[in-house]
Structure 1
Amino acid sequence: MTQTTLPTASLDAEIAALGARHQAAHNVGMQVLNLVGSQAENLLERLPDSVKDRLEETTRGALELAFRAARQSRGVVPDQKGWLNTAVATAMGAAGGAGGLPSALAELPVTTTVLFRAIQGIATEYGYDPADPQIAKECLTVFASAGPLSQDDGAELAFLSARVTLTGSTVHGVIAKVVPRLSTVLGQKLAAQTVPVIGAAAGAATNYAYTSYYQQMAHVHFGLMALAERTGRPRAALVEDLRAALKQNHFN
Structure 2
Amino acid sequence: MELLGRPIGETEIETRMNALVQRNAQAGNGVIDLLNLVGGQAEGLLDRLPPALRMRLNETTEEALRRAAEIAHRSRSVVGEQPGWRTRALTASMGAVGGMGGLPSALAELPMTVTVLLRAIQDVAVEHGFDPSEPSIRFDSIEVFGAAGPLERDDGANAGFIGTRMTVTGPALKALIARVAPRLAAVLGQKLAAQTVPILGAAAGAATNYAYTRYYQDMAQVHFGLRRLAIDAGRERQDVVAEFRAKAAKTRLRKG
* TM-score of the pair, normalised by structure 2: 0.91
1:211 is matched with which residue: 213, 231, 234? 213
Q: Distance in 1 between matches of 2:163 and 2:74?
A: 29
**Structure 1 residue aligned with 2:92:** 90
Q: Secondary structure at the match of 1:149?
A: coil
**Cα distance in 2, alignment partners of residues 25 and 216 from structure 1:** 6
| Aligned-residue offset at 1:20 | 2.4
Unaligned runs of 5+ in 2: none
Question: What's the CA shift string for 1:19-61, capped at 9, x where partnerless?
Answer: 2221332114222222222221111100001110110111012
Identity %: 52
Aligned to 1:242: 244
1:123 partner letter: A
Q: Secondary structure at the match of 1:170?
A: helix
8 Å contact kept, 2:87–2:120: yes
Q: What is the SS of the residue equivalent to 2:168? A: coil
- Indicate conservation of the 8 Å contact 1:28/1:148, yes or no: no
How far does the alpha carbon of each residue in 1:194-239 deviate from its partner, in whole angstroms, 9 at most, with x for none?
A: 1122111111110011000001100100010111122233333323
In structure 2, the partner of 1:156 is 158
Task: Tell me if the contact between 1:93 and 1:203 (Cα under 8 Å) persists in the aligned partners.
Answer: yes
Matched, 1:2 2:39: no
**Taking structure 1 as reference, are residues 134 and 247 closer, same or farther at Cα in structure 2, changes over 3 Å only?**
closer
Is it true that 1:29 corresponds to 2:39 in the alignment?
no
Partner of 1:40: 42
Letter in 2 for 1:2: L
Distance 1:48 1:235 in 2: 43
Partner Cα separation in structure 2 for residue 155 and residue 236 of structure 1: 17
Aligned mates of 1:69, 1:121 — CA distance in 2? 14
* Equivalent residue for 1:78, pick from 70, 77, 80: 80
Alpha-carbon distance in 2 for matches of 1:62, 1:167: 20
Q: Answer whether contact 1:26 1:151 (CA < 8 A) is retained.
A: no
Q: Distance in 1 between matches of 2:129 and 2:228?
A: 8
Contact 1:29 1:209 in 2 (8 A): yes
Q: Distance in 1 between matches of 2:185 and 2:109?
A: 15
RMSD: 1.8
Alignment size in residue pairs: 252
Give 5+ residue unaligned stretches, structure 1: none
C-alpha separation in 2, matches of 1:24 and 1:174: 26
Q: 1:107 to 1:75 in 2, by over 3 A?
A: same
Shift of residue 79, structure 1, vs aligned partner: 1.4
C-alpha deviation, 1:5, in angstroms: 4.1
Per the alignment, residue 113 of structure 2 pairs with 111
> What is the TM-score with the length of structure 1 in the denominator?
0.93
Counterparts of 2:155 and 2:77, CA distance in 1: 35
Deviation at 1:247, TM superposition (A): 4.6
Aligned pair partner of 2:195 in 193, 196, 220: 193
Contact 2:143 2:176 in 1 (8 A): yes
